[in-house]
Amino acid sequence: MRSYGQLCSVAKALDVLGDRWTLLILRELLIQGPCRYTDLANGLPGIASNLLSERLRNLETSGLVWREAAPPPVATTLFHLTERGRAAEPVLVALARWGTPLIADAAPDDAIRAHWVPFSASVFLRGRDPGGVPVTVQLHTPLGSSVIEITTDGVTSRAGAADEPDITLEGMPQVILRLLAGELTVAEAEEQGLVLRGDPALLDAFHLAPA
Amino acid sequence: MRSYGQLCSVAKALDVLGDRWTLLILRELLIQGPCRYTDLANGLPGIASNLLSERLRNLETSGLVWREAAPPPVATTLFHLTERGRAAEPVLVALARWGTPLIADAAPDDAIRAHWVPFSASVFLRGRDPGGVPVTVQLHTPLGSSVIEITTDGVTSRAGAADEPDITLEGMPQVILRLLAGELTVAEAEEQGLVLRGDPALLDAFHLAPA
DNA sequence: CGGCATCCTCTTTGATACTG
DNA sequence: CAGTATCAAAGAGGATGCCG
């Protein structure tokens, strides 16, 4: 990207992060952890191969990503975030929070990946203490199941199922996200097909907790 | 901007905010408040006039900006942020925090504007309670003077001088920013020409306060 | 002067095909 | 698997002109 040439921290950040696809590549590495090239391509439907390759090179030069090259005969490269790359997480969290209302009017043919859901959902739980941590939130969508775990150390999300979730949400990603974002009440979400098990009061605790 | 076509809140946010210049236009409106076209052009050195005009139109259709048209003979248009536009502030703050280390290796011919300084500086004081609020920080740079005020309501910045600042920092923007970011100690900043008046312990209070 | 619209050139992106 | 190569289309940058 061409530099804005402005002595301003926002402009300097955008000089590095502002290229098309760049922040979405960071999203993938933050959610999925170390990725192969094809894992990235798969998590970024629509990206052209030459762009992915070029962006990864730029991110490497900027010090956000490093590549671990396994020697032949394994011959697979793993792309990792550096500390500096992980430091961009608050940018993605802020974008995800701001972007959630836009989920409501998504195009019907939008691409979707199972691992996006727990991340988008978890951004509303970050920095909020609902009281009785640790809390485990189990999500079930037609795409698969995932778990969000809130501990004193922070919020993590992963695919799979938890042993004893405090609350379980089953439904379409759009509905779950808008519920967690506080855009829908539990009643409204249930009208849209959400099935909730566990203590609904826990959701209120999230929204009332200091951000 | 062409949509990413992904059902993910980050991608949806970038569909609206990801165009070149768009976030910097929001920066200007957040810092300066309602602006005329030429105020914006002035705060965005390097932007082409047709791009500014097009971006403003897009921001208007996306509901982030509205224009107040003063009727002739005044005949000046004021561009305002909507509530939704102001809601993007956390994105700018996250970018500014991440971008501050990049200020250190700025090009010598980078453009600079006086009103960028207190905003970039204030992002490190947001969400932190140094204890004895309200706190007033006075900045003096070769470009002009500005004030950052931290109250229980939040953090604001403005041009000008305060009556009784708790702390005064005088020096180059780069040095002030890196000091507030915690990248420089007071001693290191003073080596680089910073003059500090008031209680230096206040700075430690900022950095030790919970984020 | 303020707020653009037009025209032109150059760069970036996108889609697809191909390779070690 | 992890990319290059190629080429068409879209977008950005810069200059200038226009109109109240």
Co-location of B122 and B76 in the same domain? no
Q: Which CATH number goes with the domain that contains B79?
A: 1.10.10.10
Does B3 reside within a domain?
no
Does B136 reside within a domain?
yes
DSSP string, B4-17: --BSSHHHHHHHHH
- Evaluated on CA atoms B163, B164, B165, B170, the torsion sign reads positive
Name the band, by pLDDT with cuts 50, 70 and 90, for residue B206.
confident
Query: A135-141 and A167-170 as β-strands: parallel, antiparallel, unpaired?
Result: parallel
Task: Give the mean pLDDT of B6-16.
Answer: 97
pLDDT at A159: 87
Does B18 reside within a domain?
yes
With distances taken from each CA to the C1' atom of nucleotide C6, the closest residue turns out to be: B50
Does A211 reside within a domain?
no
Exposure class string for B169-195: b at 16+ Cβ within 10 A, else e: bbbbbbbbbbbbbeebeeeebbeeebe
Q: Which nucleotide is nearest to B4 (CA to C1')?
A: C14
With distances taken from each CA to the C1' atom of nucleotide D5, the closest residue turns out to be: A50
Co-location of B106 and B198 in the same domain? yes
A1 touches strand C (CB under 7 A): yes
Q: Which CATH number goes with the domain that contains B149?
A: 3.30.1050.10
Name the band, by pLDDT with cuts 50, 70 and 90, for residue B171.
very high
Co-location of B83 and B100 in the same domain? no
Q: With 70 as the cut, is the pLDDT of residue B11 above it?
A: yes
What is d(CA A50, CA A60) in angstroms, rounded to the nearest whole number?
15
Co-location of B70 and B135 in the same domain? no
* Phi, psi (rounded to 5 degrees) for A166: -75, -30
Co-location of A55 and A114 in the same domain? no
Co-location of A190 and A102 in the same domain? yes
**Which among A49, A64, A87 is the end of a domain?**
A87
Out of B9, B92, B174, closest to residue A10 by CB: B92
CB contact under 8 A, B13 and A116: no
Task: Give the mean pLDDT of B54-81.
Answer: 89
Co-location of A71 and A154 in the same domain? no
Co-location of B139 and B163 in the same domain? yes
Find out whether the peptide bond into B73 is cis, omega within 30 degrees of 0: yes
Could you give the percent of chain B with pLDDT greater than 90? 76
Does A72 reside within a domain?
yes
- Chain A positions in Cβ-Cβ contact with residue B20 (cut-off 8 Å): 18
DSSP string, chain B: -----BSSHHHHHHHHH-STTHHHHHHHHHHH-SB-HHHHHHHSTT--HHHHHHHHHHHHHTTSEEEEEPPTTT--EEEEE-HHHHTTHHHHHHHHHHHGGGGGG--TT-B--TTHHHHHHHTTTTT---SS-SEEEEEEETTEEEEEEEETTEEEEEES--SS-SEEEES-HHHHHHHHTTSS-HHHHHHTT-EEEE-THHHHHHHHS--
How does pLDDT run along chain A (211 residues), one tens digit per residue? 899 999 999 999 999 999 999 999 999 999 999 999 999 999 999 999 999 999 999 999 999 999 998 776 667 899 999 999 999 999 999 999 999 999 988 999 999 999 999 999 999 888 776 566 788 999 999 999 999 998 888 888 888 999 999 999 999 999 999 999 889 999 999 999 999 999 888 888 777 665 5
Co-location of A101 and A61 in the same domain? no
Name the band, by pLDDT with cuts 50, 70 and 90, for residue B208.
low
Q: With 60 as the cut, is the pLDDT of residue B211 above it?
A: no
Does A4 reside within a domain?
no
CB contact under 8 A, A98 and B107: no
Domain count, chain A: 2
**Which among B65, B87, B109 is the end of a domain?**
B87
pLDDT at A156: 87
- Domain hosting B62: range is 9-87
Co-location of B74 and B119 in the same domain? no
For the record, the structure tokens of A145 come out as: 């199941």
A48 touches strand C (CB under 7 A): yes
A66 touches strand C (CB under 7 A): no
With distances taken from each CA to the C1' atom of nucleotide C2, the closest residue turns out to be: B76
**Which among A87, A114, A138 is the end of a domain?**
A87
Does A164 reside within a domain?
yes
Q: Which nucleotide is nearest to A47 (CA to C1')?
A: C14
Contact by Cβ (8 Å): B166, B135: yes
**Closest-approach residue (CA) in chain A for B112:** A7
Distance B84 CA to D4 C1' (A): 43
Contact by Cβ (8 Å): B114, B146: yes
H or E element that contains A64: none
Q: What is the pLDDT of residues B94-134, one digit of tens each?
A: 999 999 999 988 999 999 999 999 999 999 888 776 666 78
**Bridge partners of A140?**
A145, A170
Does A64 reside within a domain?
yes
Distance A71 CA to C19 C1' (A): 20
pLDDT at B159: 87
Q: What is the pLDDT of residues B181-198, one digit of tens each?
A: 889 999 999 999 999 999
Co-location of A165 and A104 in the same domain? yes
Co-location of B109 and B179 in the same domain? yes
Contact by Cβ (8 Å): A43, A115: yes
Q: With 80 as the cut, is the pLDDT of residue B205 above it?
A: no
